[in-house]
A and B are shown apart, each in its own frame.
Chain A
Amino acid sequence: MNTQFWVVQAFNGISYGALLFLVGSGLSLIFGVMRIVNLSHGAYFLWGGYIALSVISATGSWALSLPVAALAVALIGIAMERLFLRSEGFAFLRNAVIAAALAVLVSLAISARWPQFIGGGWIQFIAVAAVAAVAAFFMLSRISILPIETDVLRQVLLTVGFAFLFQQGALDIWGGNNMDINPPGALTQSIVIGGVYFPAYRMFMIALALVIGVAIWLVMEKTRMGAAVRATVDDAQMARGVGIDTNRISMFIFALGAFLAALGGVAGGAFLGIYPGLDFEMLPLAFAVVIIGGMGSLGGAAIGALAVGLADNFGKALFPEVSYFTLYAPMVLILAVKPTGLFGRE
């Protein structure tokens, strides 16, 4: 175990931590502001990667895929938050979305059970779906959603339901193959310093995480919006009392969280690949970051990510026998001693 070994392992651990920072910081912020553990976070990561693949195959540009995928998923996040995690407002849109989805399922069911009604034709399918949609919309408008903002557990469970829908949706849209994102040639090289190889892509991940981290920190510390966010994290009721629109803050933070997760997905796509099941593999990792770093704290997320990246890396290299536990055992110990996470506050 010479110096070269330690240097390379440390570098690997830091670069892995950079990716985890992207995934975990979003989760941490969402929890800090909304007190929800967003269990669809892994799905956002996955969809970010898949959308990037589509962008690349459509335009050939990897650089474009980063912002496009991240923004697209941020929009999905906003939609989910506004329509489903809040019961007031947007009821029309929500009912329309649910009605449309129900209608498609009804149409599929009818075509499976009584194929003669639909035959193979698209027109008949859409006609049946349209009728079902109108009927469903009418019924839904008569029922009201019970207020969900205050019930954290319900919101958490809702994100689980969506996680399953996202997973199946990804499978139907992009298929089940193990895919890989190919970054431009320059990033696939390795830089050699002192005889040690440093893959350029890992450096890119570190750079990306630094840039994003600094950008968010600046927003949080130096802008009014950031101050409002920090106030909401500290004490939501007081913040409302002072006149801060915590509703809008929630939307912004949820979108930001989704944005970060998707960015992680694009960045990670060239490093981990994109394939079904990746969403539920990333979720415990994001949890680990948030738990160790503490919820709601950006700085905590950075430290947590670094800690998990390094611990996971060195743990697997030095104690390969317990590879399956290097992540979960420390999580348990930390939570047992300090349930709010190393840097969390409560």
Chain B
Amino acid sequence: MTSKLQKILLGSCLALGLAAAAPASAEELRIGFIAPTTGIFAQTGKDMVDGFQMYLDEHGNKLGGVDVKFIVEDEQGKPDMAVTKAKKLILQDKVHMFIGGFLASTGYALAPVSNSEKTLYIASVPAADDLTQRQADKYPLFFRTTWTSSQPHHPLGQWACDQGHKKVITIAADYAFGYEVVGGFQKAFEDCGGKVIQKIWPPLGTKDFGPYIPTMKADADAIFSLMVGPMSLQFPKQLRGSGNKKPIIGGGTSYDEFVLPFMGDEVIGDVSALQYSAAIATPKNEAFVKAYRAKYGKVPSYYSEGNYTTAQIIDEAMKKAGGKWPGPEQFIKIMANLKIDAVRGPLSFEDRNPVQNIYIKKVEKKKMFGYDKDELWNTVIKTYPNVSQYWTYGKEKFLAQPVYSRDFPPCKFCE
């Protein structure tokens, strides 16, 4: 063989070899997932990871036809740890996007990281209103796939008014999430003609409501409660134990599937609102609940569904992008234009936040989906379709008012 031929052969082999090698490394979607897998929020972290993982398992670990490298990091429930892990994922693991965060403060802490590292951040749990409202322009690479705190509670306020309730007491955990939930409810309720006559704010983590229950005014028609975690378990028990039989209208986390399995019969009949209920009577949801329960031994919570659907959103967006990662800005554009048929119902987006069904649900004890035991389920009693983060107010008008806080909307009818 002549040396020239040898060189050509060698060159072609190299070229072929490089050509064969290159696509393999480009055809991989690296996703960083940040959740509290240890610490006091470990169970919610587990739900988050399990939800996303289940979608991956159902789709052969591919999204949009592309192999996924799914890296989970523990943020331990601390915002600064989340930032550290996010940077590790971006700088060391070179992820295309990072997803998750649990607390609202973690959402706020992670948003600037999307700017400084020019990487897409998908918040699949943090619900702080302003991240997609008054502060949305600061974080163009921030995308949310679940809810804003006030989103389900606008329709709930409307519903409460339609039920004929005129005077409502609110009792909610004393922190930003509580303020935004109550704010949403109060705005819609009072715009319809209702009156919030008292606002009580027990500190986050209160389990003994003894000091607060006796101060509740006697002339209220109903009580709006926003409870989180262990508070959700104790409040209904103690309210009923004090002899108070008024109907309870709950915020999203007061009766969701994360706490419902551990509640007793005293919560039957209590109403709440959220973009998901495990008792949504569609075939798609039934399949999801059954598969999740068989795999992980518990009914999925909205953390599970939120992350499952996030995986679905990424799947559809990657398909639209032709199986190639188009960069964060373009990917956001694609996601923003998606219309998804998700487990929770139809889903589209406005200003990087979902537009979706909001379900008003009531706790009932019954057999569901063919399970043989009577259990507590959040039966859907009314669906408000196409609810955005602005409700019926329109974007301009809504953003013109300040973010819901402890003092806004003001308690005009507090006696």
Interface string of A270-281 (1 = CB under 8 A from B): 011101111001
Q: Contacts of A190 on B, CB cut-off 8 Å?
A: 241-243
Q: Which of B40, B200, B201, B234 is the one whose CB lies under 8 Å from A176?
A: B40
CB distance from B199 to the nearest CB of A (A): 10
Across-interface contacts of B261 in A (CB, < 8 A): 177
The smallest beta-carbon distance between A275 and chain B, in angstroms, is 5
Contact of B210 among A13, A175, A192 (CB under 8 A): A13
Assess the B211–A273 pair: CB atoms within 8 A: no
Once bound together, how far apart are the Cα atoms of A323 and B43, in whole Å? 28
**Contact A171 B42, CB 8 Å, known A197-B241, A199-B238:** yes
**Chain B contact residues, majority secondary structure:** loop
Judge if A317 is at the interface, Cβ distance under 8 Å.
yes
> In the docked arrangement, what's the CA distance between A321 and B262, Å?
31
Asked if A237 is at the interface of the complex by the 8 Å CB criterion, the answer is no
Query: In the complex, what residues of B have CB within 8 A of residue A278's CB?
Result: 230
B255 to chain A, nearest CB (A): 13
Query: Contacts A180-B262, A320-B201 hold; do A192 and B230 have CB atoms under 8 A apart?
Result: no
* Complex interface bits, A304-346 against B, C-beta within 8 A gives 1, otherwise 0: 0000000011111100100110000000000000000000000
Knowing A272-B208, A276-B40, A312-B211, the reply to whether A177 touches B262 (Cβ < 8 A) is yes
Residues of A within 8 A of B384 (CB): none
Chain A residues with Cβ below 8 Å from B208 are 12, 16, 271-272, 313
B112 part of interface (Cβ distance < 8 Å)? no
Contact of A275 with B230 in the complex, beta carbons under 8 Å = yes
Residues of A within 8 A of B241 (CB): 188, 190, 197, 199, 201
List chain B residues, Cβ under 8 A from A313.
208, 210-211
Report the Cα distance A180→B233, complex, angstroms: 7
B41 interface residue (CB < 8 Å to A): yes
Give the nearest-CB partner of A321 in chain B. B201
Smallest beta-carbon distance B206→chain A, Å: 8
Judged by a CB distance under 8 angstroms, whether A97 is at the interface is: no
Q: Are A178 and B230 in contact (CB under 8 A)?
A: yes
A43 CB, nearest partner CB in chain B, Å: 13
Q: Are B232 and A316 in contact (CB under 8 A)?
A: no
Q: Which of chain A's residues have a CB closer than 8 A to the CB of B229? A: 178, 275
Interface check A54, CB cutoff 8 A: no
- Is A223 interfacial (CB-CB < 8 Å)? no
Q: Which of B156-195 contact A (CB under 8 A)?
A: 174
Does chain B have a CB within 8 A of A122? Answer: no
For residue A25, CB closer than 8 A to chain B, the reply is: no
Q: How many angstroms from the CA of A219 to the CA of B242 in the assembled complex?
A: 37
Residues of A within 8 A of B38 (CB): 168, 171
B207 at the interface (CB under 8 A from A): yes
Shortest Cβ distance from A205 into chain B, in angstroms? 11
Given contacts A178-B233, A313-B211, 17 further A-B contacts (CB under 8 A): A8-B242, A12-B210, A12-B214, A16-B208, A171-B38, A175-B43, A176-B41, A176-B42, A176-B46, A178-B230, A178-B262, A180-B234, A188-B237, A271-B207, A276-B43, A314-B211, A317-B212
Considering the complex of A and B, which 9 residue pairs feature the smallest CB-CB distances, nearest first?
A176-B43, A12-B210, A197-B243, A277-B40, A316-B211, A317-B211, A199-B241, A176-B42, A272-B207
A-B contact pairs, 20 of them (CB 8 A): A4-B214, A16-B208, A168-B38, A176-B42, A177-B258, A177-B261, A178-B233, A178-B262, A180-B234, A190-B243, A199-B241, A199-B242, A271-B234, A272-B208, A273-B233, A273-B234, A275-B230, A313-B210, A316-B202, A320-B202
- Could you tell me which A residues sit within 8 Å of B by CB distance? 4-5, 8-9, 12-13, 15-16, 168, 171, 175-180, 182, 188, 190, 192, 197, 199, 201, 271-273, 275-278, 281, 312-317, 320, 323-324
